[in-house]
Structures are given as C-alpha cells and as structure tokens.
Structure 1
Amino acid sequence: MKLAEESEMDLVMISANANPPVCRIMDYGKFLYEQTKKVKEAKKNQKVVNIKEIRLSPTIEEHDIEIKANNARKFLQDEDKVKVTVRFRGREADYSYKGNSILDLFVSKIEDVCVVEKAAKLEGRNMIMILAPKRA
C-alpha cells in the first residue's frame, strides 16, 4: 500500500482467492476506461443477423411466388436470413405436400443467392424453411 501511495496509483486486488492474494499497482480509472473502449470496439465489429419472414399460402399463384422471391433475393443480398412460411388454414392442412412443392419452387427461383439452412418442416399448421445468404 505504501508503494501505491508513493507512486500515486491504486492498489487493485487481481485474485483474492489465491494464496497469498495477488495485487497490482495501477491507475484504476485508466484501466476501466480501456476496458470500456475494448468492449465498444468489439461491439462495433460484430455483425447482427436479422431474420426476415415471407409468408406464402398453399394456393399461391406462380407470379406471386416470383414477386415474393424477388423480395427474398433483396433480403439475402443485404446479408439477412429469410424464414419462408407456408400457412395452412382449415382443410388446407390435409394437403401439406403442396407446401413442399411451393417451397421447392420458391427456392429454385433464388437458388443462385441462397443456401437452405433449415429444410422445410411442418410445425403445427405452418411449414417453415430458413434460407441463408450464399457466401462468396
């Protein structure tokens, strides 16, 4: 403590559980400032992945699929993931095989910019597929 007072620094306990306890003489304010600076830099460099959702129905027409595929293409080019959902209502749930064919057609329209991250799966009344952007 005497050395810390003489150098006008702080005595910081690094490891209290060690035997004997480990301490360091440092400027604690400067240390905290550098830590927050490192955290901000790490936050700035990380990439946030957004998931955009596109909903289809089992009775969708070819042209409508094309329009939705073009929207999905824009999302994928912006490095976002796309969740494609086919929603079955009422008796449509009996024809879940149509959902598979619609999702396959949808993927075939944009396969040059996407990778199927999670294949089509029926979850309750929805069939869900997740697409990720293709890496260069």
Structure 2
Amino acid sequence: MIKNEKIKASEVHLTGIHGEDLGVMPTKEALELAKQLKVDLVCTSLMSSPPPCKLIGAGQAKQEALQEKQQARKREQAPKIKELRLTPHIEDHDLDTKRQQAERMLQGGDAVQLVVKITGKEGAQAKALLESLVKDLSAHGRKQTGIQLSGKQASVQLDPL
C-alpha cells in the first residue's frame, strides 16, 4: 500500500472520504487536500494510468491493509477434513445433532467426512443413513466422492459450497 508522498505518479484519480468521485487531479493537489482534511492519500492500484487513490482516515488505512492480509491468508489455507462418526442405529435426536455439527463445519469452510461404523449385515442401513444425510446437507455442501462401503465402515466426503 503506497501512501501520501510515496506516490510518484504526476496525476491520480481521486475518490473522496465518503466514496464520492473527485476526478483526475495532480498528485500535489490531492496531497494538499488530504492534509487539509487531516487524512491519508492511499493508492489502491498501480496497474492503471492515472492510478486510483482514496482519501482514508489515518488508522483506517492500516486496518484495511491488515484485513486484506487476513483474507488472503484465509483463502490460501486448504479446507480441513473433519470426520463425524455415526452408527446405523443412531437415535433421531443424535442424528439431528450430527447434522447440525456437519452444517456448522461446512459453513465454516471445512470438508466433512461422514463415517458409519458397520457390524454384521448393516451395510444397507448405513448406506441409507448416509444418503439421507447427504440429501439434508445438500444446501451447505456437495459430495466429493460417492458413498464407499469398505469392510467395517461406510463413508462419504462432503465439500463446502
């Protein structure tokens, strides 16, 4: 972020404190206006000519830069995969609780791995349970993989939308 006297362009396209367009003006005039209003002149992009600049309160410029860095860091992080374990004979209330947990995880940007533990001939029940959960959570996430039955468990992974 380039501020005040560090802006080397001869002209800037200025935006006022409240977002109003003040047009193209020489950099010196823009700096004088910023000093009169006791704010900073901040260049938002150097890719265009004349570069767009804003009049921003002194503390606000630092705060915006910090927020931008945090957002960029958040976008860089890969979604974590969180696992929820269930059984085919789960009670309705417990199922609702697991569904709400999965919704919260998906809304938070994490992927959810739903795993149903199987003993004996419960494969069909487990698959039906996972299908109903995937259908209920379709507003918050989509299936990355199909439902996989393997040995003692059935699982499916949901990615956030």
Q: Tell me the TM-score normalized by structure 2.
A: 0.52
Counterpart of 2:111, as a letter, is K
Counterpart of 1:105, as a letter, is S
Aligned residue for 1:120? 147
Aligned residue for 1:133? 160
Q: Which has the higher contact order (CA 8 A, sep 6+)?
A: 1
Q: How does 1:1-136 map to 2 (within 5 A)?
A: 44=73, 46-89=76-119, 91=120, 94-134=121-161
Aligned residue for 2:145, secondary structure, equals strand
Contact conserved, 1:66 with 1:109, CA < 8 A, in 2?
no
Q: Per-residue deviation at 1:64?
A: 1.4
Q: Per-residue deviation at 1:124?
A: 1.7
Q: Per-residue deviation at 1:107?
A: 1.6
Q: Tell me the TM-score normalized by structure 1.
A: 0.61
Aligned residue for 2:29? none
Query: In the aligned structure 1, how far is the partner of 2:94 from the partner of 2:143?
Result: 21
Query: In the aligned structure 1, how far is the partner of 2:150 from the partner of 2:85?
Result: 14
Q: Per-residue deviation at 1:48?
A: 2.4
Pick the structure with more helix per residue.
1
Query: In the aligned structure 1, how far is the partner of 2:126 from the partner of 2:93?
Result: 16
Query: In the aligned structure 2, how far is the partner of 1:111 from the partner of 1:72?
Result: 11
Alignment RMSD, CA only? 1.6
Moved over 3 A (4+): none
Residue segments in structure 1 that go unaligned for 5+ positions in a row: 1-42
Query: In the aligned structure 2, how far is the partner of 1:52 from the partner of 1:106?
Result: 15
Query: In the aligned structure 2, how far is the partner of 1:112 from the partner of 1:122?
Result: 24
Aligned length: 89
Q: Per-residue deviation at 1:65?
A: 1.2
